[in-house]
Structure 1
Amino acid sequence: MKIPQFFLGVDGGATKTEAVLVDQNRKIIDQGQAQGSNTAIFGLTESANQVALAVKRALGTKKIKISASYLALAGVNTRDDNKNWQRAIKNHPYLCQVLDNPKIVNDTAAALRSGTTDKNAIVVIAGTGSNCYGRNEKGQEARSGGADHILGDEGSAYDIGSNILHSVVKALDGRGPKTVLVNLLFEKLKIESLDGLHRLVYKKPWNKTDIAQVAPLAEIAAEKNDKIAIGIIKSAADELALMIKAVAQKLNLEKKPYTIVKSGSVFNMPKIGNLLEKEILKFSPYAKFTMPKVSAATAAAYLAQEGI
């Protein structure tokens, strides 16, 4: 009798961490979620704890041996990042018991696999943060963005949220034009003044994830024909387009057919996705767009299986 095999995939970002367990037939056995695990926001110790919690919730009390595991984590951008994660897992009281030599990569790899298996493909992630990764039929890889919120994250929910907050403050103190974003923000946060906003933002203080939560207001305000919001939306779409163009040029894909996977919460705002597609098709007329077909954690589990 053939011994069953089990594969674990983990997708960790700024907002949440998800673990998915599949069998050799790619049937989802179970899954678990925890809070974010981006080390740039939460630090390595807390991020490892959240990965452990998601994995523990996926495995439950099952007495099984994981054949292979694949961890796709935001913030893993360098060899040092990878080494730090490997060390953290070996030193973690739970993860060291359940994960044997896990594959640890940036979250873009699973995001790409979630939408396509095409050899010429690019994924643009626009969630709390932003990143772009691609590969071509020669096996070459390229990246752009992904420098996190101090050096980058253009076009992300954080970027959009930050622009909203700055525009609201300028409108309130007389440095900028009026915008319906003021009322929308006050209503969302249940505040009534600039002082109230200041107290709320700095009391904790807000982090990247908190700022990203206000991003959807840009789409609502743009629907009301608010010029400030329309400008924020266009800027985000333009920045994401620049990332895709940079990767496509590095891989010599501009004039070839290739697939672009749009991944992340920002693409729940249709205006950004529509503007992005129009801009890219001027540059790459044979590009086609798709959305993820499975979760990134499920894709990571598939990659764990495919890596054996």
Structure 2
Amino acid sequence: MSEPHGTAPANGDPPLGPLYIAIDGGNSKTDVLVGSARGELLGLVHGPSSQPQEFGVPAAIARLDSLVRRALEEAGLPPGTVLARVDAYLAGADLPVEVDTLLKAIGETGWAREYRVDNDLFALLRSGTVDADAVVVTCGAGINCLGRRADGRVARFPALGEITGDWGGGHHLAALALWHAARGEDGRGPRTALSPAVAAHFERASVEDVGAAIHLGELDRARINELSPVLFSVADAGDPVAREVVARQAEEVVALATVAARRLDLLDRPHTVVLGGGVLAARHSLLHDAVIEGIAALAPLARFVVPGDPPVTGAALLAMDALAPLDPGGEAALREAVRTAAASG
């Protein structure tokens, strides 16, 4: 856990009590929230990815600064207002040196008097549970896992992709859908309904045409990531190749959750497992049921939560936890306010 870094002159806390900035910076989007320790939502803005591993730290901080300025404006706070606290949870804050670098960079922005920076899994975990003994797995664009225990121990994974043994996540699943579709079409692999489904998705006559279009720049390579839902749709229809990929993803989620629990001696103890990220939050029955059954077989006392609130809610609650004693009424108010804001667009 990172220690708060840096101080700045206070503008004075308003009648609502201490105000904070909460940031959830994922692989595909960034949410910034301004709120009070009592649970009021004052500002909430959404933006593109601010992933420091993709854009570099200076560019990531610049993106965050723009969103913070917008959130402060929405909250009706004048430019230069120094808030009580910033809690920033970012994808790409995986290694201790990365957390320290980001903490220093965000601490130099002058947004607040105190700062905490860490991996975005902490925000997702808090959005799902306040339980001290808990494990969280995210399977969105990528995949990662974190565990914590009431005695303060934490289990983490580097989550740097194939070089640290990672498997799965929406982008990887999408690439596998295209890979299997190509091989199923040309005979190098088993026939699969992924082949016509992938070709149809891109309005091409064949998967070979899809590959050529990507190679020649006629199709943006980033559009490959659209194929994750196609994979699940084909799997739901019974295609054995697609179902095997989904089963493999379930095995990886089970492995992450149970390894983290084992490291913390939680396998035979009650604990909460939070399942988040776009792939897991979709609750595809083939994947969801296999994950629940697989974890329960090894950790029979585990309880499962798929959060209904976005991770930025967890980031905000962590800030509120740090600013004041836990207030169930304030937490409920904040959750409801974020849901209402999300529903209104």
TM-score (norm 1): 0.90
In the alignment, structure 1 residue 229 sits paired with structure 2 residue 242? yes
Aligned to 1:76: 93
In the alignment, structure 1 residue 215 sits paired with structure 2 residue 228? yes
Structure 2: how far apart are the matches of 1:149 and 1:50? 28
Contact 1:9/1:19, CA 8 A, preserved across alignment: yes
- Residue 303 of structure 1 aligns to which amino acid in structure 2? L
- Residue 293 of structure 2 aligns to which amino acid in structure 1? K
Of residues 33, 42, 48, the one that matches 2:55 is: 42
CA 1:19–1:212 in structure 2 vs 1: closer, same or farther (change >3 Å)?
same
In the alignment, structure 1 residue 195 sits paired with structure 2 residue 212? no
Aligned to 1:286: 301
Aligned to 2:10: none
Contact 2:137/2:274, CA 8 A, preserved across alignment: yes
CA 1:186–1:195 in structure 2 vs 1: closer, same or farther (change >3 Å)?
closer
CA 1:16–1:4 in structure 2 vs 1: closer, same or farther (change >3 Å)?
same
Could you report, residue by residue, the CA deviation over 1:114-169 in whole angstroms, capped at 9, with x for unpaired residues? 00001110100001011100111211110236223554442311221121121012
Contact 2:82/2:113, CA 8 A, preserved across alignment: no
Structure 1: how far apart are the matches of 2:56 and 2:200? 32
In the TM superposition, what are the counterparts of 1:204-283 in structure 2 within 5 Å?
206=221, 210-267=223-280, 268=282, 269-283=284-298
Structure 1: how far apart are the matches of 2:278 and 2:145? 15
- Residue 139 of structure 1 aligns to which amino acid in structure 2? G
Aligned to 1:184: 197
Structure showing greater Rg: 2
CA 1:211–1:90 in structure 2 vs 1: closer, same or farther (change >3 Å)?
farther
Q: Percent identity?
A: 25
CA 1:82–1:100 in structure 2 vs 1: closer, same or farther (change >3 Å)?
farther
Aligned to 2:7: none
Contact 2:95/2:158, CA 8 A, preserved across alignment: no
SS of 2:303's equivalent in the other structure is strand
Q: In the TM superposition, what is the alpha-carbon distance from 1:293 to its structure 2 partner? A: 4.1
Of residues 85, 88, 98, the one that matches 2:102 is: 85
Contact 1:5/1:23, CA 8 A, preserved across alignment: yes
SS of 2:228's equivalent in the other structure is coil
Q: In the TM superposition, what is the alpha-carbon distance from 1:81 to its structure 2 partner? A: 0.9
Of residues 39, 43, 61, the one that matches 1:30 is: 43
Q: Which runs of 4+ in 1 moved over 6 A?
A: none
Structure 1: how far apart are the matches of 2:28 and 2:237? 28
Could you report, residue by residue, the CA deviation over 1:235-293 in whole angstroms, capped at 9, with x for unpaired residues? 00001110011101000001111100011111212321111001111101111101114
- Residue 301 of structure 1 aligns to which amino acid in structure 2? A
Contact 1:281/1:287, CA 8 A, preserved across alignment: yes
SS of 1:254's equivalent in the other structure is coil
- Residue 299 of structure 1 aligns to which amino acid in structure 2? G
- Residue 94 of structure 2 aligns to which amino acid in structure 1? N
Gaps of 5+ in 1: none
Aligned to 1:59: 72
Q: In the TM superposition, what is the alpha-carbon distance from 1:99 to its structure 2 partner? A: 4.2
In the alignment, structure 1 residue 128 sits paired with structure 2 residue 141? yes
CA 1:152–1:74 in structure 2 vs 1: closer, same or farther (change >3 Å)?
farther
Q: Mean alpha-carbon deviation: is it higher for 274-283 or for 298-307?
A: 298-307
In the alignment, structure 1 residue 119 sits paired with structure 2 residue 136? no
Structure 1: how far apart are the matches of 2:286 and 2:176? 17
Q: Mean alpha-carbon deviation: is it higher for 173-182 or for 184-193?
A: 184-193
CA 1:90–1:65 in structure 2 vs 1: closer, same or farther (change >3 Å)?
closer
The two structures, once aligned, show a CA RMSD in angstroms of 2.2
SS of 1:117's equivalent in the other structure is coil
Q: Mean alpha-carbon deviation: is it higher for 37-46 or for 284-293?
A: 37-46
SS of 1:215's equivalent in the other structure is helix
Structure 2: how far apart are the matches of 1:188 and 1:99? 47
Contact 2:90/2:120, CA 8 A, preserved across alignment: yes
Structure 2: how far apart are the matches of 1:68 and 1:85? 15
CA 1:290–1:145 in structure 2 vs 1: closer, same or farther (change >3 Å)?
farther
Aligned to 1:102: 115
Structure 1: how far apart are the matches of 2:309 and 2:150? 23
Q: Mean alpha-carbon deviation: is it higher for 47-56 or for 82-91?
A: 82-91
- Residue 148 of structure 2 aligns to which amino acid in structure 1? R
Q: Paired residues, what number?
A: 302
Gaps of 5+ in 2: 1-13, 324-345
Q: In the TM superposition, what is the alpha-carbon distance from 1:295 to its structure 2 partner? A: 1.8
Q: In the TM superposition, what is the alpha-carbon distance from 1:98 to its structure 2 partner? A: 2.4
Q: Mean alpha-carbon deviation: is it higher for 277-286 or for 48-57?
A: 48-57
- Residue 195 of structure 1 aligns to which amino acid in structure 2? D
Contact 1:145/1:152, CA 8 A, preserved across alignment: no
In the alignment, structure 1 residue 299 sits paired with structure 2 residue 314? yes
